[in-house]
Structure 1
Amino acid sequence: MNKTELIDHIAKQADISKAAAGRSLDALVGAVKTTLKKGGTVTLVGFGTFAVTARAARTGRNPRTGEAIKIKKAKVPKFRPGKALKDAIN
């Protein structure tokens, strides 16, 4: 499912216009990005939790040359599914 299909689904299920559904989806994504950028977490009960974790600096290899390269430390977003989502899939 891509963004357009998701907007169509939201509009149909919530009985709102596609434009309103698009703005709602953009607002949700924006809120998650802003919160994660500040180092917070977003928990949607029954769905899951979005959080930021730190990835340590490490040494990697260039696959073309085999040369060792340094990979900087980074913050990466993570998603941990909730029990209800896991149960719905299984």
Structure 2
Amino acid sequence: MGGVAASAGNTRADTGAMVDAIIDGGCTGGDARRYGVTIGLGSFSTGIRAEGSGRDPSTGEAVTIPAAKAVKFTVARVFNDAVNA
């Protein structure tokens, strides 16, 4: 956060508040089923995770894991290239 604040000429507190506002806006703004895109970083979307099976670690008993909606994140190519450079 400090590097972003310094490059933008803001304080860490102001930069933190801006980041929080962006995240809050993406989570609560409008229809929650829409895609959220952060330019240069990646995009968020929702998907459906199918029902599966697993084991209770304390008893070893087989359990059914119910189907659920899940949040997916796809890294932007620019960010991925920068990390792997």
TM-score interval (norm. to shorter): 0.7 to 0.9
Q: Which one has the bigger helix percentage? A: 1
Does residue 31 of structure 1 match 2:17?
A: no
Q: TM-score, normalised by structure 2?
A: 0.80
What do residues 36-82 of structure 1 show as CA deviations (whole Å, max 9, x unaligned)? x7111112333211111111222211122210112122221111111
Task: Pick from 69, 72, 76 the counterpart of residue 82 of structure 1.
Answer: 76
Task: Pick from 18, 42, 46 the counterpart of residue 36 of structure 2.
Answer: 42
The aligned amino acid for 1:66 is: G
Q: TM-score, normalised by structure 1?
A: 0.77
Cα distance in 1, alignment partners of residues 17 and 40 from structure 2: 23
Cα distance in 1, alignment partners of residues 13 and 79 from structure 2: 27
2:10 aligned partner: 16
The aligned amino acid for 2:56 is: N
What value does the CA root-mean-square deviation take over the aligned residues?
Answer: 2.1
Figure out how many residues of one structure are paired with residues of the other and give that number. 84
Could you tell me which runs of 5 or more consecutive residues in structure 2 were left unpaired when the two chains were aligned.
Answer: none
Could you tell me which runs of 5 or more consecutive residues in structure 1 were left unpaired when the two chains were aligned.
Answer: 1-5
Question: Alignment partner of 2:78: what SS?
Answer: helix
Cα distance in 1, alignment partners of residues 37 and 19 from structure 2: 16
Does residue 56 of structure 1 match 2:50?
A: yes
